[in-house]
Amino acid sequence: MNYLYASTHLGCEKLLENELIFLGAKNIHITKGGVYYEAENLLLYKSLMWSRVASRIFICIKKFIIQSTNDLYINTYKINWNKILFLDKTFFIKFKGNNNIIRNSSFGALTIKDAIVNQFYEKYSKRPNINLAKPDIRIQAILINNTINLMLDLSGSSLNERGYIKSNNNISPLKENLSAAIVLSSSWKKNIPLIDPICGSGTLLIEAAMIYSDRAPGLKRKQWGFQSWKGYNKCLWNLVSNEANKKFDISIQECKKNLFIGCDYRNKIIEEAKENAFNANVLDIIQFKISDLNNLKNLCKLHKVGTLLSNLSCEERCNTESTLVGVYIQMGYIFKQYFKNWKISIFTSSEFLSKFLQINEYKKLFFQNGSLNCFLKKYEISSEECKNNDEEYQNRLKKNIQKLKKWNDFHKIECFRVYDRDIPNYNIVVDVYKKWLVIQEYQAPKTINAYHSYERLCNAIYSTKRILSIPINNIVFKIRKKQKYQFQYQKLFNSNKFFMIKEYNVKLLINLIDYLDTGLFLEHRLVRNLIKTMSYNKDFLNLFSYTGSASVYAGLGGAKTTTTIDISNTYIQWSIKNMAINNLKGKQHYFIQSNCLEWIRSNYQTFDLIFLNPPTFSNSKKMKKVFELKKDYLNLLSSLKKNLRRNGYIIFSSSTNNFKINFNEIKKIQLYVKDITNLVQSKDFLNKKYYSWLIQHI
């Protein structure tokens, strides 16, 4: 009788136990991340051939307690390694764990290695070689407290390597044995249709098809760890292998066609999925279609009931949550509308995103996928109709679009605001950037029912997408939390995806994903245009410049020089790019990374036109003092006065709520102020005041 240990992903232990019981294993003991069991030689090979969820299977060599490093060496040396290893085969020791005796896993592995090679050398005057990359035999040592468990890895490479995914393919981050565990834990049952709407490399469907057709997961593997083990029984292995082949040959003939359907909108990915299924010998029972989510409704007509299963953790790894909200919402709507009475299982790493499906979850199972904590969430679609109760929002959105249409067509505006918290229950802002939507929700207070809040939000996003005909993958969702004095534009992600848009024929780069703001304040557009008309043959200064869009307008307006100053190097580099795409290059355009307040205090250079758009509040680490606009604007203007030429102008702007300047106090510092707020108030920002003043010397 052999004592074996099968390792697996966290969350798969019970599935592995059931699998081993079915195969005939005895005296099973579940641990975290694996299962111990007893098996005769035949079952040993069967478990290697048939286990769908095990990562590796080990045969236990010896278990002993150590009180010193010498105990580790002596107990290892006492094992008759000549009955386990061939002298001409290479091996490798993997040591896991540490305590106050073995404080370093490398030292533990080295001690075991020394004991093994010394034993061989004393018997044969030769020793087996170590191979760190591709050893013939792997020995695993696990140290828990003071107990060492020495085991021989019978698998060789991990059992998830079924042999059907080739190395040159776009390998899914979801391993094959975890895919099998997800299929086995899902709502799918044999002879029931299974659709994966975002199938990627097809792993879930292939594993399901292998289960359905009784194809053993080990059939395709050519190399095993046990083949270099002295206890290897080739006759028994051939028996197990031949039986598995016969079982599959019979079963595949009885399999129904069209039960497994995989969809993906990317042609290359579908071709790879087909190749993987072909390699696994199950392509005949899987249909792969180039299709997006919108075409899912055509598939459900073939079957009244079935299961939808998809791994969205891969999409979550490759994209940001902000860009996937729309995908989840659309999936939820399509599922509810066209797949009534179907069962749904979604593998996800995001609790946040799964809420946007807006389907009642009845079960949640935990799995660990590498370093990601993931969940298999199970849903059931009731026969009730899917209702979208947001007529009030839809009507307001359509009304806004109609009001802006003539203005938009006349000015050829590509980026504009189409909804700005017009209705209390829909506390969102919707901005259009060409063929993209940025939807921002102002976080609801805790007193608001979270479920109803999500429901309204999902309805609004879906309706916006439909009314504006924006592709679902082109929706970016962001949450704005109420934070006092929030100004610094902290980086949220690192996609580095920039898009070029046009505003009054001015080219500008935006980034919709990486920051809370996009790199372009749409409400400033008329101020920018005013700068363009005022800048001809002028020396222009842009303070707190952000991404330098005002400098671009000044440059295109014929400014003699432009000076762009911001504390952030990121935004200075962004400004340089914005200028470059408009062919504004040369020594007359200056870019300075500096604290604007300190620059003003220490610099006496003068300008004809100054654009001043300071933050509401700033306490950057690069600043010596905290700046608060409502308290400090007078000191700021007083300091800046020396940089303004006698006939020059300051355009002073701010989006700070309820910000008012004291005209009398400004007059005391010998400056004249004219309120131009209404002049530069854009038609799509009537709900949001963008205050602007024109300032000059008295």
- Report if residue 339 sits inside a domain: yes
Sign of CA dihedral 370, 133, 69, 142: positive
Residues 405 and 373 in one domain: no
Domain boundary among 480, 500, 532: 480
Query: What pLDDT score was predicted for residue 293?
Result: 81
Considering the domain boundaries, does residue 246 fall inside one? no
Q: Do 15 and 40 have their domain in common?
A: yes
Residues 566 and 635 in one domain: yes
Q: Which residues of the chain have pLDDT under 50?
A: 169, 171, 385, 484-489
Q: What tokens were used for 312? A: 């969205």
**Which pTM does this prediction carry?**
0.81
- Start-to-end CA span in the chain (Å): 101
Token pair for residue 195?
């659709």
pLDDT given at position 624 = 62
Quick one: DSSP state of residue 426? B
User: 37-42 long-range CB contacts below 8 Å, 24 or more apart?
Assistant: 37/3, 37/4, 37/5, 37/6, 38/1, 38/2, 38/3, 38/4, 39/1, 39/2, 39/4, 40/1, 40/2, 41/2, 41/233, 41/236, 42/236, 42/239, 42/240
pLDDT for position 339? 87
250 belongs to a structural domain:
no
* 522 domain-assigned: yes
User: 141-199: per-residue pLDDT in tens?
Assistant: 999 999 999 999 999 999 999 999 875 545 456 899 999 999 999 999 988 999 999 99
Based on the domain organization, do 421 and 276 belong to the same domain?
no
343 and 279 assigned to the same domain:
yes
**Residue 374, both tokens:** 């993931």
441 and 321 in a common domain? no
pLDDT at 86: 95
Element spanning 617, H or E: strand 617-618
Same domain, 332 and 203: yes
Confidence (pLDDT) at 229: 96
Q: Which pLDDT belongs to residue 302?
A: 64
> Is 427:421 a contact under the CB 8 Å cutoff?
yes
Secondary structure (DSSP) of 140-199: EEEEETTEEEEEEESSSS-TT--S-S-TTS---SS-HHHHHHHHHHSS--TTS-EEETT-
In a domain, 248, yes or no: no
**Given this model, what pLDDT does residue 411 score?**
86
**Final residue of a structural domain among 431, 456, 480:** 480
Q: Are 636 and 683 in contact (CB under 8 A)?
A: no
Could you tell me if 125 and 88 lie in one domain?
A: yes
Question: How far, in Å, CA of 352 to CA of 344, rounded?
Answer: 18
- 579 with 475, same domain: the answer is no
Give the number of domains in the chain.
4
- Domain match, 363 and 398 both: no
Asked if residue 165 is part of any domain, the answer here is no
For the stretch 15-46, pLDDT in tens is 999 999 999 999 999 999 999 999 999 999 99
Task: Output the pLDDT for position 313.
Answer: 84
Asked whether the beta carbons of 219 and 190 are under 8 A apart, the reply is no
Q: Are residues 640 and 572 in the same domain?
A: yes
**Co-location of 467 and 527 in the same domain:** no
Question: CATH no. for residue 316?
Answer: 3.40.50.150
Residue 465 to residue 423: CA distance in whole angstroms: 18
Note down the domain range covering 456. Answer: 391-480
496 within domain boundaries: no
Q: Give the CA angle between residues 67, 70, 75 to the nearest 5°.
A: 85
- Domain boundary (480, 499, 526) is at 480
Nearest residue to 76 via CA among 122, 13, 29, 141:
141
Task: Judge whether 508 lies within some domain.
Answer: no
CB contact set of 149 (below 8 Å; sequence gap of 6+): 5, 60, 63, 141, 142
Q: What is the CATH number of the domain that holds 144?
A: 3.30.2130.30
